[in-house]
Amino acid sequence: MNSTFYKNIAHFSQKLCHRHFLSQKHIKHYSTIFAQASSPGKAGVSVIRISGPETKNVIQKMIRSLKNEQCTNSIAPRTALLKKLVNPSKKNDVLDIALVIWFPAPRSYTGEDILELHLHGSNIVVKNTLEALQEIKGCRLAEPGEFSKRAFYNSKMDLTEIEGLADLINAETEAQRIQALSQAQGKLRILYEGWRSDIISAMANVETVLEFSEEESIDSGLFDQAQDTIKKTFFDISKHLSDKNKGEIVRNGLKIALIGPPNVGKSSIINHFAKRSVAIVSPIAGTTRDIIEISTNIGGYQVVISDTAGICHSSNEIEKQGIELAIERAKDAQIKFIVLDTCSIINSEFRTNYFKEFRIILNNISKTNSNQLLDENTYFIINKSDLTKAHEKTVDLLIDLLCSELCVQKSQLKNKIWTISCKTGKGWDTMLSNLNLIITKMLQTSAQEPVFLTRERHRQNLVNAAMYLKRFLESVVESAEELRFAANSIGKITGGNRHLYT
């Protein structure tokens, strides 16, 4: 169910955001819809949900008591009842013995009459029941996201709550679950609708002042009051926007890129993270060309790790493309792991080339200016600690060379370098627990912290709203126009101004 349901909701929410959805008028002539609410395929129980005005008719035609064949016009609401389910278009053949739950409007998911059939989860039972429903006048199979669409139009949920529900179904980690649940429970809606309503009341004040400015009875403080409200709302929105993308990172997964010269063990590291072979490991330089990505759970957070092509001077067109992809991926990542090994630096001639390439890597991926190549989210992994006998000394030499290349003190690299061996596993646990701490520090939230936005569309609309509020505050002409635009921008996030679209 997860992916289908998620796609359906995403589809609906996208439609709403582009304002291609049905008008309220259209919704009034609605039919009764039904669909399997649980995953397709064999299961202990499969659920079919029916919503709309014909639901009562479905009860009358398809539900019988276990003991007799009498039709029933209604059943006890919100109670799980064991009933016989019959097919009215096939001489009332018994389809299944099922648990049925009746949710009369408006206390249901969609706000309409809803009937849930909890069938034995056999493909043929589900198929026959869906076919029987199709035969009842006024009933049809639901379109993708249609139950949520009705919940939205009946003001059961706003857009952020629908998105939160979709995220909850899709959540794979504890952090995603907590965030999605809070959004599904309406935390973002309350915050955004609060701002929208403040802006609308400020707008009303401004309009009153403009409309009746000649009349003495108008309180001259109304405009100042509106300005104060907007100043505060502008401040709150700006603060909400300076969130370091926490909510989006938790939802989409924190991106880590493994980057470095060829043959240092990047693919071996991703295989170690995945605990299986996802990337080809070979002593031949240039084996990895495409980006290889895995998703894993570190400390309750979803982390997406990418293995990339080794960065070097190459004349091979395909390898060059791979290197470009690697650099792009590293720029896009929230954490960069530069992977190095010690064996390449033992030979001094080799060492010169090695660091030339190293400088290219840093120059390409650094978001900071060239004097400060090391940004705060770049870390180093020195692999193959099993290889050199005088390993400790070689690592020290490598660290010294790194410091001089990066123009930093050794102390600045403390807690930024991990020495490991993919072959023996040495150092792996230390690296993982350090990484765990880094991720937790980046993403953890406290109960006191406000909710975070979770989607680019939230951000875009809030940026627009803040821009209009700023224009209002800076404008020399008294006008409510900018406030209307700001309220509309926030309304696009929640769908709170849906009546405007009819």
Ligand X SMILES: Nc1nc2c(ncn2[C@@H]2O[C@H](COP(=O)(O)OP(=O)(O)O)[C@@H](O)[C@H]2O)c(=O)[nH]1
Q: How far apart are CA 44 and CA 284, in angstroms?
A: 50
Out of 55, 183, 421, 494, which residue is the one contacting ligand X (CB under 6 A)? 421
Write down the residue that tokens 């240039």 correspond to.
286
Q: Which of 48, 200, 422, 490 binds ligand X (CB under 6 A)?
A: 422
> What's the min distance (Å) between Cβ of 297 and ligand X?
23
- For residues 35 and 264, which CB has a smaller minimum distance to Mg ion in the complex? 264
What DSSP string describes 202-230?
HHHHHHHHHHTTT-TTS-THHHHHHHHHH
Q: Does 266 bind ligand X (CB under 6 A)?
A: yes
d(C-alpha 241, C-alpha 256), whole Å? 23
- In angstroms, the CA 44 to CA 51 distance is 23
CB-based contacts of 58-66 (< 8 A; 24+ apart in sequence) = 58/32, 58/115, 58/133, 58/136, 58/139, 59/100, 59/102, 59/115, 61/86, 61/88, 61/136, 62/86, 62/87, 62/88, 62/95, 62/132, 62/133, 62/136, 63/100, 64/92, 66/97
Out of Mg ion, ligand X, none, what residue 228 binds, judged by CB under 5 to 8 A for its kind, is none
Q: Please state, in angstroms and as integers, the Cα–Cα distance from residue 353 to each residue in 275, 343, 402, following that order.
A: 33, 13, 14
Q: Any contact of residue 387 with ligand X (CB under 6 A)?
A: yes
Binds 432, which of ligand X, Mg ion, none (CB < 5 to 8 A, cut-off by type)?
none
Question: In sequence order, what are the beta bridge partners of 304?
Answer: 255, 295
Regarding 264 and contact with ligand X (CB under 6 A), the answer is yes
Of 489, 462, 498, which Cα lies nearest the Cα of 19?
Answer: 498
State how far the Cα of 418 lies from the Cα of 194, in Å rounded to an integer: 47
- Listed residue (364, 358, 450) closest to 401, CA to CA: 358
CB of 422 to Mg ion, least distance (A): 12
Whole-number minimum distance, CB 284 to Mg ion, in Å? 10
Q: What single letter denotes the amino acid at residue 493?
A: I
* Shortest spacing between CB 383 and ligand X, in angstroms: 5
Phi-psi region of 45 (alpha: psi -120 to 50; beta: other; left: phi over 0): beta
**282 interface partner picked from Mg ion, ligand X, none, CB below 5 to 8 A per type:** ligand X
In the bound state with ligand X, the residue whose beta carbon lies nearer, of 274 and 403, is: 274
Site string for ligand X, 295-334 (x = CB under 6 A): ---------------x------------------------
Long-range contacts of the stretch 78-82 (C-beta < 8 A, 24+): 78/102, 78/103, 78/107, 80/118
The least distance separating ligand X from the CB of residue 486, rounded to whole angstroms, comes to 50
d(CA 421, CA 381): 10
R_g of the chain, CA atoms, integer Å? 30
How many residues sit in the footprint of Mg ion (CB under 5 A)? 3
Nearer to ligand X, 72 or 321 (CB): 321
Closest CA to 84 of 74, 73, 70: 70
Distance separating alpha carbons of residues 255 and 335, to the nearest angstrom: 6
> Interacting stretch for ligand X, rule CB under 6 A, among 99-107, 157-165, 417-425, 465-473?
417-425
Which of residues 267, 334, 454, 461 is near ligand X by CB under 6 A?
A: 267
* 3-class SS of residue 102: strand
Task: Give 264 or 373: the residue with its C-beta nearer to ligand X.
Answer: 264
Near ligand X by CB under 6 A: residue from 70, 276, 283, 414: 283
Given Mg ion, ligand X, none, residue 253, with its beta carbon under 5 to 8 Å by kind, binds: none
Q: Strands 301-307 and 378-383: what pairing?
A: unpaired
Of 383 and 394, CB closest to ligand X = 383
The region of 64-72, 363-371, 383-391, 477-485 touching ligand X under the rule CB under 6 A is 383-391
Among the residue ranges 90-98, 361-369, 384-392, 395-403, the one whose residues contact ligand X (CB under 6 A): 384-392
Determine, following the binding rule CB under 5 A, whether residue 288 of this chain makes contact with Mg ion. Answer: yes
CB of 287 or CB of 464, closer to ligand X:
287
Binding segment toward Mg ion, per CB under 5 A, in 102-110, 139-147, 201-209, 282-290? 282-290
Quote the least distance from Cβ 387 to ligand X, whole Å.
5
| Shortest separation between residue 323's beta carbon and ligand X, angstroms | 12
Contact between 222 and ligand X per CB under 6 A: no
281 binds ligand X (CB under 6 A): yes
Counting contacts by CB under 5 A, is residue 267 touching Mg ion? yes
Span between the terminal Cα atoms of the chain, in Å: 32
Report d(CA 379, CA 335) in Å as an integer. Answer: 8
Does 38 help bind Mg ion (rule: CB under 5 A)? no
Pick the piece of the chain touching Mg ion (CB under 5 A) from 36-44, 283-291, 351-359, 447-455. Answer: 283-291
> With binding defined as CB under 6 A, does residue 398 bind ligand X?
no
Task: Tell me which residues touch Mg ion (CB under 5 A).
Answer: 266-267, 288
Task: Tell me which residues touch ligand X (CB under 6 A).
Answer: 262-268, 281-283, 287-288, 310, 383-384, 386-387, 421-423
